[in-house]
Amino acid sequence: MPLSAFLEPHILHQQLAHMACIGTDMLSPGRTRLALTDADKLGRDQLVAWLRELDLTIHIDAVGNIYGILEPDPLNSHLPVFLIGSHIDTVIEAGAYDGCYGVLAGIAVLRALHAAGTTPPRPVGVVAFSNEEGVRFQPDMLGSLAVAGGLSVDVVHALQATDSASYGTELARIGYAGTLIPGSIPIHEYIELHIEQGPILATLGTPIGAVHTLQGISWQRVTITGTANHAGTTPLQLRHDPAVVAAQVIADLRAYAGATESTLATVGTFTLAPNAINVIPHTATFTVDLRDPDESALLHAEAHLQSLLQQYAISEGVSVHCDVLARFSPVIFAAELVHTIQQVAAMQGIACRSMVSGAGHDAQMIARIAPSAMIFVPSREGISHSPAEHTDPAHLEAGLRVLCDVVASRLGIAI
């Protein structure tokens, strides 16, 4: 009998619905559980309660990553853990599935292992990584990056939030500053189940994606400094207006991306100071998110952004400064894991497409230290990072079944 026969998908649906209510309020749509806020703490508390129900060994590391581990026979407890995971922090006004689906599906697989009465041949764990979204603290995928050795605990604790709080202080405040050094739990293999967050699977009507590549990501904050002056008295030729430069760069960047094969460019935040109707601003600040599955194309896009900034800054007489907030090269996932996902989907009679991930995920960080791969399920109309995010319950269950039997297959469990 396959391990997936022991799944109880209704519990996954209940837990997703429960988590979806944490971080809601009457004033805004969706839910907002930005990393290390009170809402994130409530989500974490609920997650830990669910991990305790399954008698898992719980570890919290020094950047706040939460692990629940199903222990094997004591003789095998020293072996690296087979890890399933994702995140439970969200963007602002988020959907219900981004991240939570992977974590709660991981719990469902551990529950199936319990129900089957199987003692796994090595530890099997679920993890919720801290600050995957990167909205409040940059870089994104921070918890998994620390596990992969890409950031030290000291550097993480010193990071400043967009609201100025420090990571270390906020982590302690919500009670999730553990003592374990990130990365000290050795990982055998890592699988992340996630909604696609794009339109490919939904458009094709294909229920499962086996993700072989994750595109590169470049985040920068651009600050353009000009001269504040009176909107009614300053002739156009005497202005040093950073808003105009920002607008020119943003429009040209969109045109540039449109002319490339695969580059995406997004300006998701924009502020002017002093932000008054009759004042030429002295500062424009905006963020740029560039992505491409090809590293050389991503480098080209970054260089193009710089040349646009220089060109328009010179013609308007303003100065420009860029801060790199995150920079991750494209990642190729472990071929043997991608193959297992395809095999399991075929055995279950579910159509599966191999594909590239457009979104960033914790799996791209863990891939630095352990074989990793991802399973995608469709997102209705490709919508995500929005309260309208939706995946059909049947697709959620198909993804869970594939995940479950992939785990069983990788562990060599026969029931």
Binding site for ligand GLV (CB under 6 A): 133, 140, 359-360
- List, in sequence order, the alpha helices (H) in 159-241: 167-173, 200-204
Q: How far is the CB of 323 from ligand GLV (least distance, A)?
A: 17
Residue (173 or 327) nearer to ligand GLV, CB: 327
CA separation for the pair 98, 28 (Å, rounded): 18
The set of residues, in sequence order, having a beta carbon less than 8 Å from that of 10 and lying 6+ positions away, is none
**CA torsion through residues 396, 397, 398, 402, sign:** positive
| Region near Mn ion per CB under 5 A, out of 6-14, 15-23, 57-65, 93-101 | 93-101
Of 64 and 99, nearer to Mn ion (C-beta) is 99
What tokens does 285 get?
């600040």
From ligand GLV, Mn ion, none, interface partner of 140 (C-beta below 5 to 8 A by class): ligand GLV
Q: How far is the CB of 19 from ligand GLV (least distance, A)?
A: 17
Name the residue nearer to ligand GLV (CB basis): 156 or 407: 156
99, 125, 134, 178: residue in contact with Mn ion (rule CB under 5 A): 99
Which among Mn ion, ligand GLV, none contacts residue 84 (Cβ within 5 to 8 A by kind)? none
Dist CA 281 CA 291 (whole Å): 30
From the CB of 243, what's the least distance to ligand GLV, in Å?
26
- Residue 333, SS3? coil
Size of the site for Mn ion (CB under 5 A): 2
List C-alpha distances in Å: 49 to 43, 98, 133, 384: 10, 20, 23, 27
| Min dist. Cβ of residue 94 to ligand GLV (A) | 10
Q: Is 98 in the site for Mn ion (CB under 5 A)?
A: yes
Tell me whether residue 248 or residue 266 sits nearer to ligand GLV (CB atom): 266
Segment near Mn ion (CB under 5 A), from 95-103, 262-270, 298-306, 332-340?
A: 95-103
Residue with tokens 């490339």, as numbered in its chain: 260
Q: Are 56 and 68 spatial neighbours (Cβ–Cβ below 8 Å)?
A: yes
Q: Least distance to ligand GLV from the beta carbon of 43, Å?
A: 16
The entry of Mn ion, ligand GLV, none near residue 99 (CB within 5 to 8 angstroms by kind) is Mn ion
Cα(49)–Cα(353) distance, integer angstroms = 36
Q: How far apart are CA 247 and CA 242, in angstroms?
A: 9
CB of residue 337 vs ligand GLV: minimum separation in angstroms? 21
Q: Tell the smallest beta-carbon distance from residue 386 to ligand GLV (Å).
A: 12
How far apart CA 97 and CA 378 sit, in angstroms, is 11
320 vs 365 by CB, closer to ligand GLV: 365
**Cis omega before residue 139 (within 30°)?**
yes
Alpha-helical segments (H) within 120-241: 142-147, 153-158, 167-173, 200-204
Label residues 195-206 b or e (16+ Cβ within 10 Å = b): bbbbebbbeeeb
The CB-of-150 to ligand GLV minimum distance in angstroms stands at: 16
Q: Please, which residue, 222 or 411, has the CB nearer to ligand GLV?
A: 222
CB distance 162 to 135 below 8 Å: yes
**31 and 90 Cβ atoms separated by less than 8 Å:** yes
- Which parts of 280-392 fold into alpha helices (H)? 295-316, 335-347, 362-366
Q: Which does 102 bind (CB under 5 to 8 A by kind): ligand GLV, Mn ion, none?
A: none
Cβ-based nearer residue to Mn ion, 240 or 385? 385
DSSP-based helix, strand, coil % in the chain, nearest 5: 40, 25, 40
Of the pair 4, 86, the CB lying nearest Mn ion is at 86
Least Å distance, CB 87 to Mn ion, is 6
Among Mn ion, ligand GLV, none, what does residue 389 contact (CB within 5–8 Å per kind)? Answer: none
Binding site for Mn ion (CB under 5 A): 98-99
